[in-house]
Amino acid sequence: MTETHFIIDGKTLASVTTKFPLCIESFPQPYEVSIFSSEAEYQSLVLDADFILIDKNVANRYPPTTSDGTYVFTLAATEDNKSMTTVLSIIDAFIDQNISKGSKVVAIGGGIIQDLAACACGLFRRGQPFIYLPTTSLGQLDSCVGGKCAINTGKAKNIIGLFSAPKQVVIPVFMVRSMPLNEHRAGLSEMLRLCLTASWKAVHDYVSIFPCISDPSTLDLEAYTKALALSLSIKKAVVDYDEYERNVRKSMNYGHTFGHAIEKLANFSLPHGLGVLLGMHMANTFSYKSGFMARETYAGVTSPLKMTLTNVRLNSDHLCGLTSDEIIDQFRYDKKGDGTSVPLILINSPGNMFFHRYYFGHPSNVLADSIDSCLSEFLLWIT
Return residues touching ligand NAD (CB under 6 A): 55, 57-58, 77, 79, 82, 109-115, 135-136, 138-139, 143, 146, 148-149, 158, 175, 178-179, 183, 272
As measured in angstroms, the least distance from the Cβ of 87 to ligand NAD is 14
Q: Which residue, among 193, 347, 358, 163, has the nearest Cα to 259 in the 3D structure? A: 193
Q: Choose between 220 and 369: whose C-beta lies nearer to ligand NAD.
A: 220
Compute the distance between CA of residue 42 and CA of residue 131 in angstroms, rounded to an integer.
12
Given a contact cutoff of 8 angstroms between Cβ atoms, the answer to whether 60 and 66 are in contact is no
* Strands of the sheet with 341-349, listed across from one edge: 11-17, 2-8, 352-359, 341-349
Q: Choose between 148 and 167: whose C-beta lies nearer to ligand NAD.
A: 148
Q: Furthest-apart CA pair in the chain: how many Å?
A: 64
Q: Choose between 109 and 304: whose C-beta lies nearer to ligand NAD.
A: 109
Compute the distance between CA of residue 297 and CA of residue 349 in angstroms, rounded to an integer.
6
Q: Choose between 253 and 287: whose C-beta lies nearer to ligand NAD.
A: 253
Q: Choose between 109 and 255: whose C-beta lies nearer to ligand NAD.
A: 109
As measured in angstroms, the least distance from the Cβ of 180 to ligand NAD is 7
Compute the distance between CA of residue 249 and CA of residue 242 in angstroms, rounded to an integer.
6
As measured in angstroms, the least distance from the Cβ of 204 to ligand NAD is 25
Compute the distance between CA of residue 66 and CA of residue 265 in angstroms, rounded to an integer.
43
**Phi, psi values for residue 345, rounded to 5°:** -85, 115
Q: Choose between 46 and 138: whose C-beta lies nearer to ligand NAD.
A: 138
3-state secondary structure 110-124: CHHHHHHHHHHHHHH
Q: Choose between 113 and 282: whose C-beta lies nearer to ligand NAD.
A: 113
The residue at minimum Cβ distance from ligand NAD is: 111
Compute the distance between CA of residue 109 and CA of residue 56 in angstroms, rounded to an integer.
9
Given a contact cutoff of 8 angstroms between Cβ atoms, the answer to whether 278 and 259 are in contact is yes
As measured in angstroms, the least distance from the Cβ of 97 to ligand NAD is 23
As measured in angstroms, the least distance from the Cβ of 333 to ligand NAD is 15
As measured in angstroms, the least distance from the Cβ of 259 to ligand NAD is 11
As measured in angstroms, the least distance from the Cβ of 47 to ligand NAD is 20
As measured in angstroms, the least distance from the Cβ of 85 to ligand NAD is 16
For the packed helices 221-241 and 200-213, what is the interaxial angle rounded to 10 degrees?
A: 150
Q: Choose between 139 and 259: whose C-beta lies nearer to ligand NAD.
A: 139
Report residue 320 CA to chain centroid gap: 26
Q: Choose between 254 and 286: whose C-beta lies nearer to ligand NAD.
A: 254
Strand segments, DSSP code E, in the chain are 2-8, 11-17, 22-24, 31-36, 51-55, 71-75, 105-109, 131-134, 148-151, 160-163, 168-172, 341-349, 352-359
Compute the distance between CA of residue 117 and CA of residue 360 in angstroms, rounded to an integer.
36
As measured in angstroms, the least distance from the Cβ of 268 to ligand NAD is 9
Q: Choose between 256 and 297: whose C-beta lies nearer to ligand NAD.
A: 256
Compute the distance between CA of residue 132 and CA of residue 88 in angstroms, rounded to an integer.
19
Handedness of CA 160, 190, 252, 348 (dihedral sign): negative
Q: Report the amino acid identity of residue 213.
A: I
As measured in angstroms, the least distance from the Cβ of 274 to ligand NAD is 11
